[in-house]
Chains A and B, each alone.
Chain A
Amino acid sequence: MTLALTIGVLTAGAVYLILQRGMVRIVLGFVLLSHAANLLLMSAGGVFHRGAPLLGRSATEALADPLPQAFVLTAIVIAFSITVYMLTLAATGTGDETEDAS
């Protein structure tokens, strides 16, 4: 439940920020949104088994699902690189947000 609520709050905040005009706010919105998506990925593997996914370290039924964690790692890297690029775009075209994009 906590996880679902967190995802909900993050998404709500992200949608609010993405609908703003300034590029920096949009970027921050996307940061929140990617966190929401990553938490969703984590929850997809089930959060009740938390043992380290290494054979012999913990009981087999207590092992966490390692696949979503690998997904999240990949997704974090991708989101990070795009965030950096978007910040570059925000810096290069300073002050044109209010203009009519024709």
Chain B
Amino acid sequence: MNPVLLPLLVALPLTGAALLAVFTSRTAVRLLLPATAALGLAGGLALLGATGGGGILVHQVGLWPAGVSIPLAADAFSALMVTTTALLVLVCSLFALATGEAERRYFAPLVLVLSAGVYGALLTGDLFNLFVFVEVMLLPSYGLMAIAGTLRGLRGGRTYVTVNLLTSTIFLAGVALVYGTAGTVQLGELAGAAQRSPAVAAAMGLVLLAMAVKSAVVPVHGWLVRTYTAPSPAVTALFSGLHTKVAIYAVYRLYAVVFEGQASLLWIGLVVFTATMAVGVLGAVGETTTRSILVFHMVSQIGYILLGVALFTELGLMAGIFYLVHHMVVKASLFLSTGAVEHVYGTGDLERLRGRARGEPLLALAFLGAALSLAGLPPFSGFVAKLTLVTAAFDAGRWTVAAVAIAVSLITLMSMLKIWGSVFWGRPPEPETETGAESGAGTGTAATATAVRTAPPRLRTALVLPAVALTAVTLCVGLGAEVLLDLSAQAAAHLLDTSTYVEAVTNR
């Protein structure tokens, strides 16, 4: 793949968004939204092909000389993230098309602008440009949060805007201080700067703090739980896969490049991320709706993912990156399968749902697979991710962390079984059996009953397939873990020894 094509990953979704803002017909949305998302996926796979062997693609935007221009750079880590993001955008768009939500005015353009921002943030090699792309990603999200127009959505939207604007302002202040102390915001030029000068380290600390809030690490995770339960399931699935993960990517990249993995600060990460794992999972125990349980688990899983950067060993980083990719897929699958139930039955309340496995065995299977993967059971990808991470923690001599990680996965399993037990397992509630009784009463009612029964399944197949597809991905990744492990190892190698990345970005 030619590096000149890198800006296309940002430009194409933006073009798609512009077209969809003009052509608002149903056909246009049905064609253009998945097509643009699929193009992103193709781009991601092409990137992966070009960087999987250890290559780095760099394009100095506008062909300005290096040092003046803003570089876009893709190594194996960025490529992995771009591919996973594109997959999620595609699958969530298909789900939103199935629920009919995608036909809401401006829904499709907003999603595409959001994806453009994410691709940009994953590819940029410049700190200020990262800020801009994060804003490009957040602006449509504010809209998507409140697009349903419900009071709950508006409230969630308000908290969401407030928290994210505050964090972005802190991020901006951090960028200002980095520029003031280091004299540059280009990542390549900043390499190792924080290790050489405490002033730059303090300034970068502010940037990392902003990223910690955005990735919902424990003392500052409250906003996630308040806001992710507010929008529609499709939007939550999309946000869960994209937003916090971009911040996590930034933490990995910035700590590796600017701090060069400085060992004396790693204890902060170990303490905070271990607390994140524990608090997240314990918070989920007291929740009573599927979505709030899943959101609390997201907090807990974020602790696992970031543990990789806190260990900063080759195995640790590799495990963290593997975990990140696995988590994006699995979490989206869980949000989509419970979201399908929520969409059809109008509630995600554990008390009011029962026996859904009878009506939708495929959906139940998709949920079960993803849930077991989240808890870390073989043969799913979660098992490989957790095993590698715990091994890495043991190797680094962090026994307590490893013990907490294992204990937390047990509670995770318990929570997943709670959703399984109350939503999918058992006998379906009364109304369905009543329909069964009515159908015996007369042929006329039987006909309508079957009509009613056969009408939703067509809708359901489209609703179920996205979650099934993602669960299939986690199963395949679990069975053929070697491929993704190799790619993660490649990505980790560039984080551990940043010289290749820095050379490529600064063009020296």
Contacts and interface: CB of A to CB of B under 8 A. Distances in A.
B18 interface: no
B502 interface: no
A34 B173 CA distance: 9
Interface of A: 18, 23, 26, 30, 33-34, 36-37, 40-41, 43-45, 67-68, 71, 74-75, 78-79, 81-82, 85-86, 89, 92-93, 96, 101
A93 B159 CA distance: 13
B12 interface: no
Contacts, number: 75
Nearest to A70: B128
A36 B158 CA distance: 22
Contacts of A79: 169
A74 B133 CA distance: 11
Contact of A93 (B158, B166, B168): B158
A26 B155 CA distance: 14
Contact of A75 (B161, B172, B180, B226): B172
Contacts of B155: 93, 96, 101
B157 A89 contact: yes
A74 B173 CA distance: 14
B176 A89 contact: no
A93 B179 contact: no
23 contacts: A18-B162, A30-B169, A33-B166, A36-B173, A37-B172, A37-B173, A40-B177, A44-B176, A71-B176, A71-B179, A79-B169, A81-B139, A82-B142, A85-B161, A86-B161, A86-B162, A89-B146, A89-B154, A89-B157, A89-B161, A92-B154, A101-B155, A101-B226
B413 to A, nearest CB: 29
Nearest to B132: A74
B425 to A, nearest CB: 29
B135 interface: yes
A26 B162 CA distance: 8
Contacts of B396: none
Contacts of A44: 176-177, 179-180
B158 A89 contact: yes
A45 B179 contact: yes
A96 B158 CA distance: 12
A68 B173 contact: no
B169 A37 contact: yes
B207 to A, nearest CB: 13
Given A41-B176, A86-B161, A86-B165, A96 B151 contact: yes
B73 interface: no
Nearest to B145: A89
B175 interface: yes
A86 to B, nearest CB: 6
Nearest to B152: A102
Nearest to A40: B176
B177 A82 contact: no
A71 B135 CA distance: 13
Nearest to A88: B146
A18 B166 contact: yes
Contacts of A82: 139, 142, 161, 165
B142 A43 contact: no
Nearest to A85: B142
